[in-house]
């Protein structure tokens, strides 16, 4: 049971660290949480200590999946409708490009590479 609390304390500490960094750098908390998580995993993998982060724990996988949905929601909640209405053309171009690029890229790979 102590192992579970240790893992939870590590991840909660990283969440607090991300909030402090985001506050001082005036960045989105969701973005900083993702970056801190990636950096932590990279450091743990470099030192061969990924198991200490509980990467294979079932309860942590569930929390990670739920957290991914929550981070997506938080990123969307930071959008300001007034700004989007003023810049409708730019927002539309970015949205269409963000959709069509992977769609057409995957279609091209499927057609030309995979046959």
Q: What is the pTM of this model?
A: 0.60
Band of residue 57 on the pLDDT scale cut at 50, 70, 90: confident
- Kindly tell me if the per-residue pLDDT of 75 is higher than 80: no
Same-domain pairing of 54 and 11: yes
Same-domain pairing of 73 and 101: no
Whole-number pLDDT of residue 68:
83
Same-domain pairing of 24 and 42: yes
Whole-number pLDDT of residue 101:
94
Contacts of 55-63 with C-beta under 8 Å, sequence gap 24+, read 57/4, 57/7, 59/4, 60/7, 60/11
Mean pLDDT of the chain: 88
Whole-number pLDDT of residue 15:
92
Provide the domain limits for residue 114: 80-115
Same-domain pairing of 72 and 87: no
Whole-number pLDDT of residue 106:
95
Distances (CA, A) of 33 to 14, 81, 94, 109, 113: 8, 24, 24, 33, 37
Same-domain pairing of 67 and 20: yes
Q: Which residues contact 50 (CB under 8 A, 6 or more apart)?
A: 41, 44
For residue 57, give the 3-state DSSP assignment: coil
Query: Which of 6 and 73 is assigned the larger pLDDT?
Result: 6
Q: In percent, how much of the chain has pLDDT > 70?
A: 100
């Amino acid at each position: 049971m102590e192992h579970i609390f240790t893992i939870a304390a590590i991840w909660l500490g990283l969440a607090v660290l991300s909030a402090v960094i985001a506050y001082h750098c005036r960045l989105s908390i969701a973005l900083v949480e993702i970056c801190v998580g990636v950096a932590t995993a990279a450091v743990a993998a470099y030192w061969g200590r990924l198991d200490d982060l509980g990467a294979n724990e079932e309860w942590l996988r569930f929390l990670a999946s739920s957290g991914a949905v929550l981070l997506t929601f938080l990123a969307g909640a930071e959008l300001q409708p007034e700004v989007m209405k003023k810049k409708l053309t730019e927002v539309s171009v970015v949205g269409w490009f963000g959709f069509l690029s992977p769609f057409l890229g995957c279609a091209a790979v499927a057609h030309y590479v995979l046959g």
